[in-house]
Chain A
Amino acid sequence: MSAETKPLPIIEVLNLKKRYGLIQALKGISFSVGKGEIIGFLGPNGAGKSTTLKILSGLIPADSGEAKVCGVDLAEEGGEVRNHIGFLPENNPLPEELRVIEYLHFRAMLKGLRGSRKRDRIRIALDICDLERKVSERKIGNLSKGYRQRVGIADALLTEPRLVILDEPTIGLDPRQSAVTRKMMERLRGEVTFLLSSHILSEVEACCDRMIILSHGQIVTEGTLNELQEEFINRTIFEVIALTDRMSLQKSVREIDQTCELLQDEPVDVSGKKRFIFSTEKGEVVVEAILRYLVKIPDLRVFEFQIERPDLETIFLRATKKNWEENDLLGKRSRRFKIE
């Protein structure tokens, strides 16, 4: 795509900084998000996720740096951005005495919706969030946590926003209720950009196109799951279930890749099948070549072959570990300095 025709990113952030008293919550983060992407915004507690999301939704100002959301410069027109986005704040506080439908009417009017368009958008938002008519007539104070979250998401979707920011949308929800949120995002995939902050990594892994990992107010890494796997896990692990012995299999594997190491072998059942786990510095292409080679060997029966990909949790822990150590070291130094 040429530079002229390339659509503008929905979010553009450059060197964003924010300080709360003595704590530097954001230390100059930069990233951009394209139209229709679902972005996972990850990081340990206190990493600066919620601060970033609040700045992007125009709730709080940044101290310095540039941020544009839907083409609106937040430094110049912070309030204007709220016309283009939907935001579900952390904990999703809602007025308990209102009925769901009353609350959505109130929010729709606050967002400038009137008449038939208001009614249509409320109906669509209720439908997307799986809030049936019976639930919409109930008081918010009597709803379960899952339904309350859905009400918050329905509110965020009322104005057909180009960007929806969800801060911990599935915290405290059971797997079934979390699945409803994922289903909602899948349904709107490509039409709406989602920026999703969550600690539930399996969920982020399942529905996000790209992840941005923050730690101590800095972006430690960003990319697709594959890119992160390549960046943080530099060895490829694969598993073979075969009817053979350890020595001959290792010999066969090493004919393709000399660096391949056998990590583990164990019997699977009484028939003599064994599970072999190998590790190689080379990528998946070489591992696939090993498989093709193994299946051609006449005396070797391969039953299963599997390349094990590291999950997001492993990547998250590795990505944030280095940053934690650096910050912790700084803390120790400063403490030591004080004692001296």
Chain B
Amino acid sequence: MTQGYWVILRTEIFSLFISPATYVSTFYFLALLGVGFRFFIESFPATNWILPPLSSLALGLLFGAPALIPFLTMRTIAEERRLGTLETLMTAPVDAVSIIAGKWSASYFFYLLICCGAYSYPLLVCIIFPGQAESLGFLKPEHWIGGFVFLMSFGASFCAIGIFSSSITRNQMVAGMLSFSLITLYLAIMAFSYGEPTKIDEFRSYDDLFAMVGGSLHRGLDKIQFFALGVLHIPTILHQLIVVFFFLSLAKLQVEKIRH
């Protein structure tokens, strides 16, 4: 059945490359990110930003994801359900896991391409203005690797949420809005109490309770502090992998339910 996965992955990547919506959203996203990044590094010496300036790019991509990911995922299953081609797809020797995994991988691949596009900005700074790049810390490879792994792990879970949203409706607009809402909610939960010191031993507030039950969800965005410096925080990566597995399993169940 793995042959089905590769064929679906290839076809989905092809359909993303020929979709005008993907190009329009990618262009606007990268353009806005580029403008924001330029102003940030220009004003960086005047700010009290404690992380390496390259991490601003990762955060920009992360908070832009709720607007970007729906464009990559909303069509995947919702459109197939609307046209009825999901049933036709299932008449071939291919299982629901291959379909879901193939579609998720294609969206994820495109997301990573966009991340690569975003990282071309600091790369250009390094090539054109090496002196400034050095003063901004752009020449430290661990900052690049850490930031990209952070985006990879969060992007994987965002794409899984998008695929799940697409699997539960026939309307791609509804899928897009649901995807936007779920990713925003997910980010909001992780951003809860961002930057405050952890008080695990005290249970006086809702934050303490959330810290207990939320596990690595709690202050998830704080973990960028590790990645920005090039430290790969394994619990965060595992946490995102669990989210990927959870939402893709739900999407698989949904696709199998359609068959029955």
Contact = CB atoms under 8 A, between A and B. Distances in A.
Contacts of B15: 97
Given A59-B87, A93-B87, A94-B85, A110 B259 contact: no
Interface stretch (A34-42, A82-90, A217-225): A82-90
A61 interface: yes
Interface of A: 57, 59-61, 79-80, 82-83, 87, 89, 91-97, 106-107, 109-112, 152
B95 A93 contact: no
Contact of B83 (A60, A93, A107): A93
A95 B85 contact: yes
B88 A110 contact: no
B230 to A, nearest CB: 41
Interface string B111-133: 00000000000000000000000
B1 A59 contact: no
Interface stretch (B3-11, B63-71, B190-198): B3-11
B88 A89 contact: yes
Interface of B: 1, 3-4, 7-8, 11, 15, 18, 83-85, 87-95, 259-260
Contacts, number: 54
A163 to B, nearest CB: 13
Nearest to B7: A109
Which of A60, A93, A110 has most chain B Cβ within 10 Å? A110
22 contacts: A57-B91, A59-B90, A59-B91, A79-B93, A82-B91, A83-B93, A87-B91, A89-B88, A92-B88, A93-B87, A94-B85, A94-B88, A95-B85, A96-B83, A97-B18, A106-B7, A107-B92, A110-B3, A110-B92, A110-B94, A112-B93, A152-B88
Contact of B93 (A82, A96, A97): A82
Nearest to B98: A110
Contacts of B89: 110
Given A91-B84, A110-B7, A79 B95 contact: yes
Given A60-B259, A61-B260, A89 B87 contact: yes
A93 B3 contact: no
A98 to B, nearest CB: 9
Nearest to B8: A110
Contacts of A107: 92
Given A82-B91, A95-B83, A60 B1 contact: no
A82 B83 contact: no
B84 A82 contact: no
A57 B3 CA distance: 20
Given A57-B91, A79-B95, A110 B85 contact: no
Contacts of B84: 89, 91, 93
B163 to A, nearest CB: 18
Given A89-B88, A94-B83, A97-B18, 19 more contacts: A59-B87, A60-B260, A61-B260, A79-B93, A82-B91, A89-B84, A93-B83, A93-B85, A93-B87, A95-B83, A95-B85, A96-B83, A109-B3, A110-B3, A110-B8, A110-B89, A110-B93, A110-B94, A111-B92
Q: Is the interface of A mostly helix, strand, loop or mixed?
A: loop
Contacts of A79: 1, 93, 95
Contacts of A110: 3-4, 7-8, 89, 92-94
Contacts of A80: 93
A89 B87 CA distance: 8
Contacts of A95: 83, 85
Contacts of A91: 84
A121 to B, nearest CB: 14
Contacts of B83: 93-96
Contacts of B3: 109-110, 112
A82 B92 contact: yes
Contacts of B85: 93-95
Nearest to B11: A106
Contacts of B18: 97
A61 B259 CA distance: 9
Contacts of A60: 259-260
Contacts of A83: 93
Nearest to B89: A110
Nearest to B4: A110
Contacts of A93: 83-85, 87-88
B93 A89 contact: no
**Nearest 5 A/B pairs, CB to CB:** A93-B84, A110-B92, A82-B93, A87-B91, A109-B7
Contacts of B1: 79
Nearest to B84: A93
Given A89-B87, A94-B85, A106-B7, A59 B259 contact: yes
A270 to B, nearest CB: 61
A94 B15 CA distance: 15
Nearest to A109: B7
A41 B260 CA distance: 22
A110 B94 CA distance: 7
B259 to A, nearest CB: 6
Nearest to A84: B93
A312 to B, nearest CB: 28
A94 B94 CA distance: 17
A89 B259 CA distance: 13
